[in-house]
Structure 1
């Protein structure tokens, strides 16, 4: 065996060992996450409605790279599909922006347990039973069902995602510059996350529904062109939370999930409609976000709320960034992205984990100060990303 062949073989063995260790960590995080899962509601205790969609998505992401949990994932998808609409908080959910610029979500008193006996069995294939009055919440579920479809090939899940998208698309075109998506159906706040999710869901569908690919591509392109012209992307290249009533950047904090969702959306859009500018824009936003949110060890933070003021929504944000950074890394490899993903996963495991319970916290640099289903599924997103990063 030549030196070159021996070196290559050793390198491959090291990569395989690293991936195996990362997979074991992600599997452990998954097992702990499922301690919060309630098969009666199809949701995760300690987490909200939209958080449930993200928990399901990260499980699908693990199943996509780890055959050993596929059957568990399929069972979770089937259960959540069947029963979660019976506890949909519907229009009882209320959202506001707190003094620190963080979304505050309020659910009806006693939700979800008090809704099970009060609501008739829902037709889970009806997209309206997944809507709760917050457009971004519905879009998270749309992406979750796309992720479930990717694992299972179940067309019912893909059809549901299409239906959710069509419900949200009906609200397009009456906002700032005749575009964008309102945060909630009952107010006129044009915000970044709802509009970014619209782009991403359209692009994901375009790549999976050949019969309607042209329609979804056109939606994604129109939405991105509108988004890029709004001023929500600030002078530093990062994205603020939304627009004022006068349709200008509101200067709200640079949250990690706002930086992340657009990366996945542009990457998916570039697959179906190749355009160099899409990847260039995604790389620009990703690098600006890392400059703004990473510490000296390349660990990502939501500085505006960490370590103790991120509940109930900010605890979910960073895992979303990691999920979408991985999508960009696969399409446009960059050593910086690999370094961030690997650093976050390593720090979570070493510094932000209760070794007795397996719980993962919100401050990935540590110390661990307590966890719930939102911090667990978010941190799990970094662990799953680390399995595949190159």
Structure 2
């Protein structure tokens, strides 16, 4: 029998090898993601405006745990900050839900390359608004992620400005609360309202002189959300409310289950209250029961035909599940994150290009794009920290 010290040393070496492989996989994914990056638009080709915010966020999350890519990340942030407003698709963006509950974002013809305009002031929050409130909120969270890596106050100020723009539309429907999906389409839905909670809570932990204001916003929005009925009897979250302000029964999308987890974890950090963590754990475990297969790999019901929007959803769930796991560690969350990352690399990767596709359990579905890839990359980055 090997001495205990030898067994311990072997276990440590195995853990080091696993951690090294996880970082290596994330590096490869980062390099591949950047093959889609277009420095003339500051976005990632083959996906939309809000997807760009999520691509930037996963790069920031990788930079936060891997100093070797920080300089590359800083350059990406600076480029996107400078030029992306010139292709803001505000003139002509439309959002709708198909008869099957699939989210659809339509962009102006020729967007983005044929719609470049004179560069707007990137420090002005209105330069990041496109008429869809959730899109603006994604950019607010992306600039907070960039701030966390760089300490650049300009990014944090921009996130504040975006939040203040969205906050001006709070409470015009459904029990004096909620955020419309679009400014011209008065659909009160889960994602825009959850992002509002999360953005307020993230700001509360970073803007010390206004922390109480952001805490109050996050608490008000969460109390409203929890009372709407969007959280169904199974503990998962449907997509939104009808015009009569009741749960519309639309699909249980992974990103709706995820964003609230990160928002509640951040709110608990800003204003500790065990009820926030309890609610987040209840939703997370219900979501895993609903969305994970027998191998703990997460799926959305639209697979493999989730374009153009739902290709992004699962990575958002995993990103926010990690935030909850940091606040309230749970073996199930670790197992899900590890299972997703392992399966993506083994079963959902084109080994000739290292592109990552939509079905994380595999087999690889051709063709991948920057949305499917950045979403899967969220899991590869999250597993580094569990």
Answer whether TM exceeds 0.5 for this pair. Answer: yes
- Contact 1:101 1:253 (8 Å CA) reproduced: yes
Q: Give 3-state SS (helix, strand or coil) of 2:104's partner.
A: strand
CA deviations over 1:54-111 (Å, ceiling 9, x no partner): 0000000000011111111000000000000000001411000012211100000000
Return 5+ residue gaps in structure 2 as ranges. none
Q: Give 3-state SS (helix, strand or coil) of 2:96's partner.
A: strand
Q: Give 3-state SS (helix, strand or coil) of 1:92's partner.
A: coil
How far apart are the structure 2 equivalents of 1:209 and 1:5? 48
Structure 1 238/115 Cα, relative in aligned 2: closer, same or farther at 3 Å? Answer: same
How far apart are the structure 1 equivalents of 2:303 and 2:276? 31
How far apart are the structure 1 equivalents of 2:5 and 2:137? 48
- Contact 1:89 1:112 (8 Å CA) reproduced: yes
- Contact 1:19 1:388 (8 Å CA) reproduced: no
Structure 2 counterpart of 1:327: 323
How far apart are the structure 2 equivalents of 1:364 and 1:6? 36
Alignment of 1:12 with 2:8, yes or no, is no
CA deviations over 1:155-181 (Å, ceiling 9, x no partner): 000000000000000000111000010
CA deviations over 1:295-336 (Å, ceiling 9, x no partner): 000000002x101x2000010000000000001111111110
- Report the CA distance between 1:3 and its aligned residue: 5.6
Alignment of 1:29 with 2:29, yes or no, is yes
- Report the CA distance between 1:14 and its aligned residue: 2.4
Structure 2 counterpart of 1:40: 40
Q: Give 3-state SS (helix, strand or coil) of 1:380's partner.
A: helix
Alignment of 1:276 with 2:274, yes or no, is yes
How far apart are the structure 2 equivalents of 1:9 and 1:331? 30
How far apart are the structure 2 equivalents of 1:175 and 1:130? 24
CA deviations over 1:137-156 (Å, ceiling 9, x no partner): 00000000000000000000
- Contact 1:206 1:217 (8 Å CA) reproduced: yes
Alignment of 1:297 with 2:267, yes or no, is no
Residue of structure 1 aligned with 2:241, choices 217, 240, 243 = 243
Q: Give 3-state SS (helix, strand or coil) of 1:31's partner.
A: helix
Structure 2 counterpart of 1:338: 334
CA deviations over 1:322-375 (Å, ceiling 9, x no partner): 000001111111110010000000100111100001110000011101200000
Q: Which 4+ stretches in 1 moved above 3 angstroms?
A: 2-12
Structure 2 counterpart of 1:51: 51
- Report the CA distance between 1:128 and its aligned residue: 0.2
Please give the TM-score of this superposition, normalised by the length of structure 1: 0.97
- Contact 1:103 1:314 (8 Å CA) reproduced: yes
- Report the CA distance between 1:188 and its aligned residue: 1.0
- Report the CA distance between 1:115 and its aligned residue: 1.5
- Contact 2:51 2:371 (8 Å CA) reproduced: yes
Structure 1 counterpart of 2:121: 123
- Report the CA distance between 1:9 and its aligned residue: 4.2
Structure 2 counterpart of 1:68: 68
Q: Give 3-state SS (helix, strand or coil) of 1:90's partner.
A: coil
Q: How many residues align?
A: 384
Structure 2 counterpart of 1:375: 372
Structure 2 counterpart of 1:385: 382
Q: Give 3-state SS (helix, strand or coil) of 2:131's partner.
A: coil
Structure 2 counterpart of 1:221: 219
Please give the TM-score of this superposition, normalised by the length of structure 2: 0.98
- Contact 2:140 2:158 (8 Å CA) reproduced: yes
- Contact 1:140 1:197 (8 Å CA) reproduced: yes
The alignment yields a C-alpha RMSD, in angstroms, of 1.1
CA deviations over 1:177-208 (Å, ceiling 9, x no partner): 00010000002100000000000000000000
- Report the CA distance between 1:4 and its aligned residue: 5.7
How far apart are the structure 2 equivalents of 1:184 and 1:96? 10
- Contact 2:91 2:108 (8 Å CA) reproduced: no
How far apart are the structure 1 equivalents of 2:362 and 2:115? 37
Return 5+ residue gaps in structure 1 as ranges. none
How far apart are the structure 1 equivalents of 2:3 and 2:189? 56
Residue of structure 2 aligned with 1:177, choices 157, 175, 178 = 175
How far apart are the structure 2 equivalents of 1:317 and 1:121? 30
Q: Report matched runs for 1:75-224 at 5 Å.
A: 75-116=75-116, 119-224=117-222
